[in-house]
Structure 1
Amino acid sequence: MVVEYIRYTVTADRAAEFEQAYKAASAVLDDDEHCLAYEISRGVEEPEHFVVRIEWDSVEGHEQGFRRSPRFGEFFQAVRPFFDQIDEMKHYEVRQSHRP
């Protein structure tokens, strides 16, 4: 498993639109076999910052499976208006985790 983090800076006047875009895009993530889990978080101290965290079965599952799937266009169409607001989009391997 790998975790993709996408960090955004979104102005306050577009925050609701951003959240709605990911709400629409989440239907595609829900149906994708390579997506294990995801969350969209908004900064408390700095509410213009959002982090999208997506757990994928593998980098290949994300890049060759999801991105080449028939529904990827639907996902990208929903979030594309915010592509220029991305500060970081990278995969990470989990080294340590704890869930009570």
Structure 2
Amino acid sequence: MILEIADIRIKPGQQAAFDEAIQRALSTVMGKVKGALSYSVHKGVESPERYVLQIAWTSIEAHNVGFRESPAFGEWRAIIGPFFASPPVVEHFDLLVKS
């Protein structure tokens, strides 16, 4: 399993609309993406325009090829992309320790 972490910064004052949009994007798009195992979204307390999206993938290829090169990625970006203040910073992680 690979964990994708996306650090997302949205335009000021758009939190309520983005909250709805990302929930809609996850429920409508992620459900049909092969290789996506689970996801969570965390909203900044001190920085309310900052969100951290975590998606567990079966492999990096499932994310970088299976998702990003599919029509689903265009749908995803059409829903949440207009809120971005800057492009998200995305990295992948291997699990080292779990409690």
TM-score, scaled to structure 1? 0.83
Which position in structure 2 is the counterpart of 1:20? 20
Say which SS state the counterpart of residue 85 (structure 1) adopts: coil
Which position in structure 2 is the counterpart of 1:42? 43
d(CA) in 2 for partners of 1:93 and 1:82?
A: 29
**Percentage of pairs with the same residue:** 33
Which position in structure 1 is the counterpart of 2:56? 55
Say which SS state the counterpart of residue 34 (structure 2) adopts: coil
Equivalent residue pairs, number: 98
Contact 2:5 2:53 in 1 (8 A): yes
The letter for the 1-side match of 2:92 is: H
d(CA) in 2 for partners of 1:3 and 1:14?
A: 27
Q: Which moved more, 1:55-64 or 1:75-84?
A: 75-84
The CA RMSD measured in Å over matched residues stands at 1.8
Superposition pairs for residues 67-78 of structure 1, below 5 Å? 67-78=68-79
Can you give the 5+ residue segments of structure 2 that lack an aligned partner in the other structure? Answer: none
Describe the shift of the 1:68–1:86 C-alpha distance in structure 2 as closer, same or farther (beyond 3 A). Answer: closer
